[in-house]
Structure 1
Amino acid sequence: MPKSFLGNPALDHAVAGFTAGAVSTIILHPLDLIKTRFQADDSIKSLSKRHFGATFNTLRSIVHKEGIIGLYRGISPNLAGSTASWGFYFYWYDLIKRWMANGDKLTKLSATQHLLASAEAGAITVFMTNPFWVVKTRMCITSRKDPEAYKGLIDGLYQIAKYEGIRGLYKGLVPGLLGVSNGALQFMFYEEMKKWRLRISPEEDRERLDNIEYILVAGSSKTIANVATYPYQLIRTRLNNQKFVIKYNGVIDAIRKVYSSEGFLGFYKGLAPNTLRVLPGTCTTFLVYENMSAFFRKHARFDE
């Protein structure tokens, strides 16, 4: 077994991912809330809300009506979902990569192998965390003063399970699985960019990038993946929401109706606040993850 801090390399990666997800979510949840509300708004009038100025106007409106605490509506399911997602994702990603490498160095994996490993890890993670995202979406699009609003993560899970059953907890699963392509593309570009940077580095035997390089690589890979796959996030949000101006009957019906009533750009509602959130969010997540992973390797207690 390779060197490990917690007794298993995959567990080291899981804890690093769990921590990274928590830090990123706590810092950037308000922007995630705005993005979710933009995505869930299926009125034609809301098409004017695509510009960055609307993001700050909406933030100001929420603070005025609900106070600062209103910006953290839905933080509990978001925190649970993000920490669990990143933790599970890195755990399965590391296990699958080691299985593919068959004992060889992980850096020798091809771009295709990285794409497959991240896609498989993402699919497993989606199945495990989907209920959290359903609750998070519904909490983010409702005010605390709404009599039908969930009081928190546990209350949301209980009410959905009670009134909608298991099927309700897995609303939006299909677009969620389609969204695995986002993480797959991101990790493929991330791994390939890291290999390229280390390969052209003048320092010999360099095993990791510096913090600025991690930020640049993480931001670049996420931007490419996000623009390519953003529409699935909007479709997933519409299916997770139970209060529609337009009724949607599944993924294909939602795609057809969004395009019919809002046009192609309708698939990119909320892209501005999403961009504001995912770039610092991704950079923060990967920076924390890479530094924690390096700490675990440096202080490994369990040798081969």
Structure 2
Amino acid sequence: MPKSFFGSTALDNAMAGFTAGAVTTLCLHPLDLIKTRFQVDETIQRKHRFGTTFIMMKKIVLKHQFIGLYRGVTPNLAGATASWGFYFYFYDLIKRRMADGDKISKLSPFQHLTASAEAGAITAFFTNPFWVVKTRMCVTDRTDPGAYKGLFDGLYQIAKYEGVKGLYKGMIPALFGTSHGALQFMAYEELKKWRFKINPEKEKNRDKLNNLEYLLTAAASKTFATIITYPYQVVRARLQNQRVAIKYTGVTDTIKKVYKAESILGFYKGLAPNVIRVLPGTCTTFLVYENMSAFFRKHARYE
């Protein structure tokens, strides 16, 4: 068994993921807020101009000051930290189960894809309620009628007026979204293996990739996954934003209506702020995660 800091490598990975999720969310929540508002925007005649993201940010700051950019940060922080914590915890457990005593580095791309998808599905189940509240808070101002005051108020109101079912709106596209994480982690693991392969010295000590290499690897894998899977995020946001009035009856219905009214471009609304956010966000997350993991391995207390 490899050495660990908290008693198991899965817990080490969970804590590294928890920390990475918190740091990334606090730094980049404003861009997440703008992305979400674009995703639920059903305006057909919107002019797609470069800089629209920053124009919207300016309007929010003028109306609500800087704090307005952090509307919905509490459920986002809860969701992100829980998601990355759960994800890395289960991802490590599943990989070690697949390795069955062998080196994890010898897992195939398909095994990485499968392990990531399984970890993502489990994580989505536990964290979906946080994302529903986060979506609804991000698309409303705190002064709007019926706007949630915070995470717990949102969870309470949804449970009270929509039942448990309301907490799991958007769950199906969220499960589709596990394909995004699966593709990203497969690409990330394979790029790291490729880097070790062309430099055998790095294979001897897996903490020796430098921060720039981690950043480039994370950015490349995230871009690959985002281009392929972004439309599911729009579908999920539309479903999660619904309250009492139901405009979309399900995933298929949402896809049909968005395509009919907004064409294929409707599935890529919010892509610009998403790309602006996810690349530095992913780089920050993986950089913090890898460095925290390296710290835990270096200061391991348990055999």
Identify whether the pair has TM-score above 0.5, normalized to the shorter chain: yes
Alpha-carbon distance, 1:248 to partner: 1.0
Alpha-carbon distance, 1:128 to partner: 0.4
Deviates further, 3-12 or 37-46? 37-46
Q: After TM superposition, where is structure 1 displaced by more than 4 Å over at least 4 residues in a row?
A: 243-246
Alpha-carbon distance, 1:246 to partner: 8.8
**CA deviation string 1:142-179 (max 9, x = no partner):** 00111210000000000000110000000000000000
Amino acid at match of 2:283: C
Q: Name the structure 1 match of 2:230.
A: 230
SS in 1 for 2:3: coil
SS in 2 for 1:44: coil
**CA deviation string 1:271-297 (max 9, x = no partner):** 000000000000000000000000000
Q: Name the structure 2 match of 1:292.
A: 292
Does the 8 Å CA contact 1:198/1:206 hold for their aligned counterparts? no
Matches within 5 A, 1:1-304: 1-46=1-46, 48-49=47-48, 51-201=49-199, 203=201, 205-208=204-207, 209-242=209-242, 247-303=247-303
Does the 8 Å CA contact 1:42/1:246 hold for their aligned counterparts? no
What is the RMSD computed on CA atoms of the aligned residues?
Answer: 1.3
TM-score, structure 2 as length reference: 0.97
- Whole-Å separation in 2 of the counterparts to 1:28 and 1:244: 30
**CA deviation string 1:45-71 (max 9, x = no partner):** 23x24x441000000000011111100
Alpha-carbon distance, 1:42 to partner: 1.1
Number of residue pairs aligned between Structure 1 and Structure 2: 301
Q: 1:52 to 1:243 in 2, by over 3 A?
A: farther
- Whole-Å separation in 2 of the counterparts to 1:93 and 1:159: 33
Unaligned 5+ segments in structure 1 are none
- Whole-Å separation in 1 of the counterparts to 2:51 and 2:12: 41
TM-score, structure 1 as length reference: 0.97
Unaligned 5+ segments in structure 2 are none
SS in 1 for 2:51: helix
- Whole-Å separation in 1 of the counterparts to 2:50 and 2:292: 33
Q: 1:52 to 1:19 in 2, by over 3 A?
A: farther
Same amino acid, percent of matched pairs: 70
Amino acid at match of 1:79: L
- Whole-Å separation in 2 of the counterparts to 1:245 and 1:141: 16
Does the 8 Å CA contact 1:52/1:273 hold for their aligned counterparts? no
